[in-house]
Amino acid sequence: MSAATVCALWMRLGMVHVSHSHPDLLDAIDGGVALAEFDYAGRRAVECGKGFGYALGIVKSRLAEKARPVVGRGGVKNFDGADDEINARFAEQYPWLCDAGA
């Protein structure tokens, strides 16, 4: 996935100003944030009347949460592989976007 793909998605959702070279966006992509999570963040930002910085803040928060281990009755769990399922469902919903800049 590329920053241009994320920005195209966010612009299609109604964001006017995006930055495909923003270091935090590039870090989130390198950190393995799923395209569906960028979609969620973009939709949430637009619904709240906010923009790029707000959406990026949501993504950064979710990335930080993902980095923390979940401790429960079964011990520490990680969610490796969960992004593959999320991305597969997203690709079914938005094939035009997933083919554009993967």
- From first to last of the 102 residues of the chain, give the pLDDT tens digit: 888 888 998 899 899 899 889 999 998 888 888 888 899 899 999 998 999 999 999 888 877 777 666 555 555 455 555 566 666 776 777 766 655 444
**C-alpha closest to that of 61 among 40, 80, 88:** 40
Predicted TM-score (pTM) of the model is: 0.65
CA atoms within 13 A on the CB side of 52: 16
The residues with which 76 forms a beta bridge, in sequence order, are: 71
CB 77 within 8 A of CB 83: no
Question: What spatial distance separates the first Cα and last Cα of the chain, rounded to whole Å?
Answer: 4
Ordered DSSP codes for 3-18: HHHHHHHHHHHT-S--
Provide the residue ranges of all domains of the chain, joining segments of one domain with +.
Answer: 3-95
